[in-house]
Amino acid sequence: MLNLSSYTKGATLITTEYTGSNFIEDIVVENLKIAKHDGNVHTRFPPEPNGYLHIGHAKSICLNFGIAQKFGGLCNLRFDDTNPTKEDVEYVDSIQEDVHWLGFDWEERKFYASDYFERLYQFAVKLIRDGKAYVDDLTAQEMREYRGTLTEPGKESPFRSRSVVENLQLFERMRSGEFPDGSRVLRAKIDMASPNLNMRDPAIYRIFHATHHRTGDTWCIYPMYDFAHPLSDAMEGITHSICTLEFEDHRPLYDWVIENVNPGVRPQQIEFARLNLTHTVMSKRKLRELVEQGYVDEWDDPRMPTISGLRRRGYTPESIRDFSDRIGVAKSNSMVEIALLEHCLREDLNARAPRVMAVLRPLKIVLVNYPEGEVEWLEADNNPEQPEMGKRSLPFSRELYIEQDDFMEDPPKKFFRLSPGQEVRLKHAYIIKCEEVVKDPQTGAILELHCTYDVETKSGGPNSGRKVKGTLHWVSAEHAIDAEIRLYDHLFLKENPDEVPEGEDFKINLNPNSLETLIACKVEPSLASAEAGSRYQFLRHGYFCLDTKESRDGKLVFNRTVSLRDSWAKAVKS
């Protein structure tokens, strides 16, 4: 067995052939073999605190922390907070909670790009001194015109030839707040004729009189992402700076900044394809819009693809990590089916969730031959696949609830549930037979069913093996507890919600029926002691999680995490 950690920290190279499980790991392994980056592996997860993390970020977290773990390296958490206006401490807190919940830890390495503002400023001064940056007074409009196009080179700004001394003075005056927003920028002096537009003297500092959530009013100039990011990586000793594909065209600039500022270490940018999921939008701007305009409850609405939403819905961190492994790391953009994520969740919950009985739309049945006032406690497995999860006792009595749609007065041929004169087994209990349908004389609505039970068909009884076609779940009317149950469907009807007719936006693809609330459900009494956030399989219905926000003062609210029908497994089999 190969000890991967012996590849790292400059340790002696072992010769066992090892290829990574994706192309980024392959790069890391190749680097380690030649002791690039001094044989270190150091990654970072760099969220901008301008929203809650979503499943796409989870992919990036699993990748960055996962690679560090696998190769005995380290992974930092870095808040990329260089844009003062959109950021908030609420987001900073939620991001930390979410990364921890996913099962990863940055130890003492939590950083903020804003902590580097002074050093970044000094790096910019260095570029000016070396004649590699200049203050430009062109307006934004003029800058766009001078920039050229993909087919035409750009034009040099008349301010490009300013002297070093003048640039140093102007940059300092920018810092001290003498100029209004947008009146000047600091630009890297690279190449206005470069075929790569990012290299045509990109802005690296802009004036922005705005209060920053951490540095307050100390600064009125802020570094641009393309300048701050490579240098933040370098200052933290990052070896592999993993980012998404849209930064591929920025890599020459990343490298230019590192080469020309020369901070001493040379992190390596590697791009991978961002995760897209069917029936899901992943842009923070769009998710924020859904929250702020009230289309969903909050960032942690169980329909949201945010980590906090998935958590509240009942997802486990294990299922999300498993999903992240299975989708792998791609070099070109594609869309992953949400059914795969749900499949990973079902597999995990199937192994660990206790089975219980809950009736979502109750129909009362009275067992007319069952002694009045009697209660029997029946034994039930908590999880037939995991005997070590034990058993519990279920009360059985004369009046029970079954599911409304488990009864049909006039059933079609293959209906194996309850109907007049027919028999079914009640799970963990007896076979019953429907003798009479009691209706409201006025409306004709079914009020209750009168049934008989066969005393010999109890588990362990003389006729326990008698077969009938259907088995139903049920609860004892007297013992059941009331619950509210929320059923969820995809938040968007279309596979790709971003596909919209001209002039419309993604919100026209919202699913009007993404939430169905059932307020008169009956669940078995063992759930009275359920802890918020705990997950169950409701027999025949799916997996449910006791809501952490709204279950209080004895009120039980369950979220349906996922139904039992596994469209992914089906599609793979067929």
Determine which one of 86, 109, 266, 274 is catalytic.
274
Q: Binding-site residue total for ligand ATP (CB under 6 A)? A: 14
Q: Which residue minimizes CB distance to ligand ATP? A: 56
Cα–Cα distance between 135 and 171 in angstroms, integer?
Answer: 7
Chosen residue from 60, 76, 82, 537 binding ligand ATP by CB under 6 A: 60
Smallest gap from residue 342 Cβ to ligand ATP (A): 18
Interface characters, 19-58, with ligand ATP (x: CB under 6 A): ---------------------------xxx-x-----xx-
Enter the DSSP assignment of 501. -
Would you count residue 498 as binding ligand ATP (CB under 6 A)?
no
Would you count residue 274 as binding ligand ATP (CB under 6 A)?
yes
Interface characters, 205-244, with ligand ATP (x: CB under 6 A): --------------------------------------xx
Active site residue 331: no
Active site residue 284: yes
- Residue 423 backbone phi and psi in degrees, to 5: -115, 150
**What sign does the dihedral 371-377-383-387 (CA atoms) show?**
negative
Smallest gap from residue 243 Cβ to ligand ATP (A): 5
Active site residue 274: yes
Smallest gap from residue 288 Cβ to ligand ATP (A): 9
Q: Taking CB under 6 A as the criterion, which residues in 434-463 touch ligand ATP?
A: none
Would you count residue 99 as binding ligand ATP (CB under 6 A)?
no
Cα–Cα distance between 232 and 499 in angstroms, integer?
Answer: 36
Alpha helices in 115-163 (DSSP H): 117-129, 140-147
Q: Which residues of 27-37 are buried (b: 16+ CB within 10 A; e: fewer)?
A: bbbebbeeebb
Q: Taking CB under 6 A as the criterion, which residues in 281-310 touch ligand ATP?
A: 282, 284
If the CB atoms of residues 46 and 354 are measured against ligand ATP, the closer one turns out to be: 46
Chosen residue from 102, 275, 472, 562 binding ligand ATP by CB under 6 A: 275
Cα–Cα distance between 242 and 219 in angstroms, integer?
Answer: 29
Determine which one of 284, 311, 346, 486 is catalytic.
284
Task: Give every CB contact of residue 84 below 8 A, 6+ residues apart in sequence.
Answer: 208, 210, 211, 212, 213, 222
Cα atoms found within 13 Å of the Cα of residue 324, Cβ hemisphere only: 22
End-to-end Cα distance, the chain: 37
If the CB atoms of residues 52 and 134 are measured against ligand ATP, the closer one turns out to be: 52
Pairing of the two strands 391-396 and 376-381:
antiparallel
CB of 271 within 8 A of CB of 22? no
- Quote the tokens at residue 385: 């696949």
**Enzyme catalytic residues:** 48, 274, 284
Q: Which residues bind ligand ATP (CB under 6 A)?
A: 46-48, 50, 56-57, 59-60, 243-244, 274-275, 282, 284
